[in-house]
Structure 1
Amino acid sequence: MWMGTQSVGECSSSTSLSSQQDVEDDRMIAVILSEEYAKLDGAVARRLSNLAPIPHVPRINSYIPNLSDASLDHQRLLQRLNVYGLYEVKVSGDGNCQFRALSDQIYKSPEYHKHVRKEIVQQLKDYRALYEGYVPMKYKRYYKKMAKSGEWGDHVTLQAAADKFVAKICLLTSFRDTCFIEIMPQCQTPKRELWLSFWSEVHYNSLYEIRDAPTQPTPRRKHWLF
């Protein structure tokens, strides 16, 4: 009996250490990738320098358009991408698209979306006073919901992302009257720019100049990131 108890304890300790190591490995690779690709920042900004941005107002998702409206909006977005010579890196529409698109901009791979979501949710938890006023529900319930994979990101999580990653987030949208939205960090000067497309309140993709468009290689992931 004593030997069995010891085995369970050792297994639990080993699992905990392994989990901690996974987190550290994930963070280390993400930092390396971020530094490696930071030099590409600014290319899309130069392309869209003549656009006047609309100030950003954080809010949660409330309206989802029907299929017909969404299709028309996407066509409008495609026309704008063509006008400005931009390329969309399409990410999966599995409820994680905002986090996938941000991951692609930061780490040049959408596969780090879980890490990005964790960082944003931690920002929401650590700086409640910055975001609570924009959330019309119990705040703890909100960030716990947002921690779940597949939960759609909103304009509050975009603001938290701008603050967490000290980045200006720029959205080229499908909206008829709002072509370009800027999300600025609230407390710091931005150190980089992240460019996303956003259509019909339903989907985000990652934006590049056509000449800088990635060739979509197999993501460089270690076995512990699967």
Structure 2
Amino acid sequence: MKRDEEIERKLQNNLNIKSLGYVLKAIEILKRKEKMKRYSTFDRHLSYFKKNNINKPQYNEKKILEHRLWAIGCELIEVIGDGNCLFRSISRNLFHKQKYHMYVRKKCVEYMINYKEEYSIYFENNEFQQYIKNMSKNGYWGDELCIKATADAFDCIIYIITSTLENWHLKYESKNNNVYCY
């Protein structure tokens, strides 16, 4: 604990307040990863599922997700399921509160507009404008494109952990890769 305070003091003397939050979050993540090294790894997790033949009919999706999160040193934190769940989850990870979900959504949409040439290639004709209009609405479900745009907008890496049997650990990197969100 004393060492943590010393690190924080040194960081405060050398960094501006905005950077400090990112650094402290990174330190927190590193500590969690270090702690979980002795418990489990992805390899152990995968072999556990294969060895015990765990699949959806036998094992509910929530249990699978909880086990996968536990294996990487994370925990399941439920968010309000009102169509804003993607943005609530990211808000929870970046700001420790779900209530900033509209700010996260706004930054995501603004980023896609500002980098239209990068994001509009997935749409034909005026579909991109309609997509932006819909995505700006409260309660409209975020998608994979939003995950990437949000990672870029907030300069973070977003990991998506799912209960699906394959491709359950997805990584969306920003251009600079500074902060981690699970």
TM-score, scaled to structure 2 = 0.69
> What percent identity do the matched residue pairs reach?
28
Q: Stretches of 4+ moved more than 2 A in 1? A: 32-38, 40-52, 71-75, 81-86, 133-137
Q: Larger strand proportion, structure 1 or 2?
A: 1
Q: CA separation of 1:99/1:35 partners in 2, compared to 1, >3 Å: closer, same or farther?
A: farther
The one-character-per-residue Cα deviations of 1:159-192 (angstroms, maximum 9, x if unpaired) are: 000110111111122110123111012xx32111
Tell me the equivalent position of 1:178: 167
Contact preservation (8 Å) 2:66, 2:75: no
AA of the residue aligned to 1:97: C
Task: Show the 5 A alignment for 1:205-220.
Answer: none
Does the aligned pair in 2 maintain the 1:37–1:107 contact within 8 Å? no
RCO higher in structure (CA 8 A, sep ≥6)? 1
Partner of 1:151: 140
CA RMSD of aligned residues (A): 2.9
SS of the residue aligned with 1:190?
A: coil
- Which residue in 1 is equivalent to 2:102? 114
Q: Please report the TM-score for the alignment, with normalisation by the length of structure 1.
A: 0.56
Structure 2 CA distance, aligned partners of 1:93 and 1:174?
17
Higher helix share: 2
**Is 1:193 aligned with 2:180?**
yes
Alpha-carbon distance in 2 for matches of 1:165, 1:77: 26
Match runs of 1:2-151 below 5 Å: 35-36=20-21, 38-41=23-26, 42-43=29-30, 47=36, 51=42, 72-135=60-123, 138-151=127-140
Unaligned runs of 5+ in 1: 1-31, 53-67, 196-226
CA distance in 2, matches of 1:130, 1:170: 21
State the Cα deviation string for residues 139-171 of structure 1 (Å, max 9, x = none): 000011000000000000000001101111111
| CA distance in structure 2 between the partners assigned to 1:73 and 1:132 by the alignment | 34
Q: Which amino acid aligns with 1:170?
A: Y
- Structure 2 residue runs of 5 or longer lacking an equivalent are 1-16, 44-55
Larger-Rg structure: 1
